[in-house]
Amino acid sequence: NAGVTQTPKFQVLKTGQSMTLQCAQDMNHNSMYWYRQDPGMGLRLIYYSASEGTTDKGEVPNGYNVSRLNKREFSLRLESAAPSQTSVYFCASRGLALDEQYFGPGTRLTVT
């Protein structure tokens, strides 16, 4: 099992460009999450999906959109990137028991 995978690992964008971060999990988990982590800080929730077909805003949703494509995949889109979105983005998933979250390796995004 690969667990939670994320692509790409690194990305550099210019201000105003768009991109989609991909996340997939092979653990048959219902819930999936997108976080951002800024230097020296904890995780802030951008969006989450409690189950296939549903998405909800987290603490910092502005400037982002998400799609829960199917049970396995949850993508995060930046429509018009801004320097304030420079961060490391983590995807996570959680099973039906709602215990621990499983994390992907992260995407390091720089917006210039």
Partner 1 sequence: SQQGEEDPQALSIQEGENATMNCSYKTSINNLQWYRQNSGRGLVHLILIRSNEREKHSGRLRVTLDTSKKSSSLLITASRAADTASYFCATDYRDSNYQLIWGAGTKLIIKP
Residues at the interface with partner 1 (CB under 8 A): 4, 31, 33, 41-45, 48, 50, 56, 58-59, 88, 90, 92, 94, 98-106, 108
**Least distance between partner 1 and beta carbon 102 (Å):** 7
- Compute φ and ψ for 61, nearest 5 degrees: -85, -15
**Least distance between partner 1 and beta carbon 42 (Å):** 4
Q: Which two tokens stand for residue 49?
A: 């999906």
Q: Residue 37 or residue 67: which is nearer to partner 1 going by CB?
A: 37
- For residues 44 and 54, give the distance between their C-alpha atoms in angstroms, rounded to a whole number: 20
- For residues 58 and 14, give the distance between their C-alpha atoms in angstroms, rounded to a whole number: 25
70-88 as b/e, with b when 16 or more CB fall inside 10 Å?
A: ebbbbbbebeebeeebbbe
**Least distance between partner 1 and beta carbon 100 (Å):** 4
Q: Residue 63 or residue 105: which is nearer to partner 1 going by CB?
A: 105
Q: Residue 9 or residue 77: which is nearer to partner 1 going by CB?
A: 9
